[in-house]
Amino acid sequence: MEEKLMETASAWKKARRVLVFTGAGMSAESGVPTFRGPGGIWNRFDVEKAAYLQSFLTDPRPFWELARELMLKAEARPHPGHYALARLEKKGYLQGVITQNIDGLHQKAGSREVYELHGSLDRLDCLDCQREYSWEGISGEVESGEVKCACGSKKVKPRIVFFGESLPREVMDRSMEIAGDCDLLLVVGSSLGVFPAASIPQLAWQRGAKMVLINSEKTYYDDMFNWVFRKSAGRVLPELEKIILGGEQEENN
């Protein structure tokens, strides 16, 4: 692994514009369940009932059951991999993070340029009276499974992208723009199976960016990558940071 780390770190230091694209595997070491693979959420929840907009509007209870699982995200803390990305951004080695995750962990770790393709759990709106809620504000009700607005409506919807909904236009456009212009893109913790999000790394690859994959399991798109780490995000990212910034710290001494 040593040689691969050195090669990746050197490509990272030479690159002018670096992007990281993350999925649920990036949050796994913060105790947040992934969707697929061993113990994945979709092995335990019926995706049609819990994550489609139409089903949510008909009966939101299966989503709130899933949300209790996602509640881990509210207490979850960033792990060393999140902090490594935030420090690399601060030192100018990372342009931004494009994430499929809705847990806000990149921002909690200090990342500033974060593009949330699937929205985020931390704000909710009543679809009937437009009242706004924070996740903290309703977490007690999520526990009970009966989330209701002060107006009596049960249609309190988090600002996440349900299946059957389109992704936020401006976030998708901006993500495609920077992905098409970057010269190194790292994919961390994603099975790359959900579109249009997964088309973003493909665009970078088509435009000639160098590609790095840090993912515990094989994906359909492994061949797209110059370097593949079959290791955890929480381990590889801090090691890359150490080589990239460590050298700099030596230069400063």
Active site (catalytic) residues: 118
CB of 205 to Zn ion, least distance (A): 45
Written as one letter, the residue type at 133 is Y
Cβ neighbors of 53 (< 8 A, separation 6 or more) are: 162, 163, 164, 165
Backbone angles phi, psi at 230, to 5 degrees: -90, 55
CB of 169 to ligand APR, least distance (A): 17
Rule CB under 6 A: say whether 217 interacts with ligand APR: yes
Alpha carbon distance 235, 221 (integer Å): 22
Alpha carbon distance 120, 113 (integer Å): 15
Q: Considering only the stretches 13-21, 36-44, 107-115, 135-143, report the one whose residues sit in contact with ligand APR under the rule CB under 6 A.
A: 36-44
Among 4, 5, 17, 40, binds ligand APR (CB under 6 A): 40
Q: Could you tell me if 214 and 186 are in contact, meaning their C-beta atoms sit under 8 angstroms apart?
A: yes
Among 236, 233, 218, which Cα is nearest to 25's? 233
126 interface partner picked from Zn ion, ligand APR, none, CB below 5 to 8 A per type: Zn ion
Rule CB under 5 A: say whether 126 interacts with Zn ion: yes
3-class DSSP state for residue 82?
Answer: helix
- The residue ranges of DSSP E strands in the chain, in sequence order, are 18-22, 96-99, 114-116, 119-126, 132-134, 156-160, 184-188, 210-214, 227-229
Q: Considering only the stretches 3-11, 52-60, 175-183, 190-198, report the one whose residues sit in contact with ligand APR under the rule CB under 6 A.
A: 190-198
Cβ neighbors of 230 (< 8 A, separation 6 or more) are: 215, 216, 217, 218
Rule CB under 5 A: say whether 137 interacts with Zn ion: no
55 interface partner picked from ligand APR, Zn ion, none, CB below 5 to 8 A per type: none
Rule CB under 6 A: say whether 189 interacts with ligand APR: yes
CB of 57 to ligand APR, least distance (A): 18
Among 143, 144, 151, 173, binds Zn ion (CB under 5 A): 151
Q: Considering only the stretches 18-26, 62-70, 149-157, 241-249, report the one whose residues sit in contact with ligand APR under the rule CB under 6 A.
A: 18-26
Q: Applying CB under 6 A, which residues contact ligand APR?
A: 23-25, 28-29, 34-37, 40, 100, 118, 189-191, 193-194, 214-217, 232-233
